[in-house]
Chain A
Amino acid sequence: MHSNSEAPRVKVLGPAFTASIPVLLGYSTIGIAFGLLVVKAGLPWFLSPVMSIVIYAGAAQFMAIALLAAGTDIVQMAILTLVINARHMVYGLSLLDRFAVCRRWKGYLIYALTDETYGLLTTVSPPEGARSESFYAAVSALDESYWVAGSLVGAVIGGLVPTEYTKGLDFALTALFVVLLVEQIRSIRRIEPYAIATAATVLAFVLFGPANLLVIAILASIAGILAFRRRLP
């Protein structure tokens, strides 16, 4: 078949895989650690991949292990999940335009929007001539596959994976955020967003401590950037 819609799909997988390698390093190691913890907490092994598919949000899943093991009531778990994942509401705001052209994969892209995938989608440009939706979907699906595979491996044979060699590999996710920040600085050459976000994070940490740092810092940053509305383009 010689249709135009077939050609781009071939082109996006390679670039999408290259873009996702940092996530591969981070998600597979943290996923294995997660699966291992699920089993150690006395939960059945299959809950590890089930959580990774149904919830697919790292911080909330780690929290869920302790809560499930303690038999916490569902309403309370839902509220805690809301607090941890409320930051994702803000992510979508800056993706409204990018996702507006998406059709077939839009629902999946929204479901699969983790911190790391958000970072890649807002910073890495789709390859020349390719459909952006196909590239976004490929990146998102690769990222999720690493997370689900890691959590499955960790739950099934986690005890056999020697951690003394892999210890520190999860730094790849911090490194990914540093790279994405450098690229943001390259494209948005204004001091205000970076200064405001830094001030907001430090302030949130000093006032409220490490718990819920992300959501408080993000809300404070938005309030801060709004104060500069007249001075910024």
Chain B
Amino acid sequence: MHNLEAILAMGLVTLLCRATPFIFFMKRKPPAVLDFVQRYIPPMIMTILVLNSFKGLRFGLAPFGLPEIASALAVAALQLWRRNALISIVGGTGLYMLLIRVL
């Protein structure tokens, strides 16, 4: 019973986090400053999420984060070149799976 109650509590807190801005601005109009900030939230969040994926890397230890960095650069290069998300992601992930096996 404790398990299910704890899971329910965690679910409610998560839902509350996701719903807060929608509840807060349900009746009132968002201030002008928010109009400015929300424009730059997606590019900033994507930057942070990419960097966050690398936070566990240990650059002092072989293979020095090389599979992650090289594969991420390959994804970016493929995306700039072909602009096909599937090719970029499958290609980069394939390269990563190869590199962690051979390096």
Contacts and interface: CB of A to CB of B under 8 A. Distances in A.
Given A19-B85, A93-B41, A225-B44, A60 B10 contact: yes
A117 B20 CA distance: 18
Given A64-B6, A67-B6, A188 B43 contact: yes
A225 B90 CA distance: 33
Nearest to B26: A96
Nearest to B73: A178
Contacts of A162: none
B76 to A, nearest CB: 5
Interface residues of A, number: 88
Interface in B44-64: 44-56
Contact of A81 (B14, B54, B80): B14
A163 interface: no
Contacts of B47: 181, 193-194, 197-198, 201
A74 B9 contact: yes
A90 B6 contact: no
Given A167-B100, A210-B56, A56 B14 contact: yes
A130 interface: no
A226 B36 CA distance: 8
B37 A225 contact: yes
A20 to B, nearest CB: 11
Contacts of A181: 43, 46-47, 49-50, 76
Interface residues of B, number: 63
A10 interface: no
A12 to B, nearest CB: 17
Contacts of B12: 78
Chain B interface, >50% SS class: helix
Chain A interface, >50% SS class: helix
Interface string A111-143: 101010011001100000000000000000000
A96 B37 contact: no
B87 to A, nearest CB: 10
A152 interface: no
A85 B18 CA distance: 8
A54 interface: yes
A182 interface: yes
Contacts of A167: 97, 100
A66 interface: no
A14 interface: no
A182 B89 CA distance: 12
Contact of B48 (A21, A172, A201, A229): A201
Contact of A22 (B11, B44, B89): B89
A171 B40 contact: no
A60 to B, nearest CB: 6
Given A54-B8, A55-B10, A168-B100, 9 more contacts: A21-B86, A92-B21, A110-B19, A174-B50, A177-B49, A178-B92, A179-B75, A179-B89, A198-B51
18 contacts: A44-B3, A81-B10, A90-B21, A90-B45, A91-B18, A92-B18, A93-B41, A111-B18, A122-B45, A171-B68, A179-B79, A179-B88, A182-B76, A182-B80, A193-B40, A194-B43, A202-B51, A221-B48
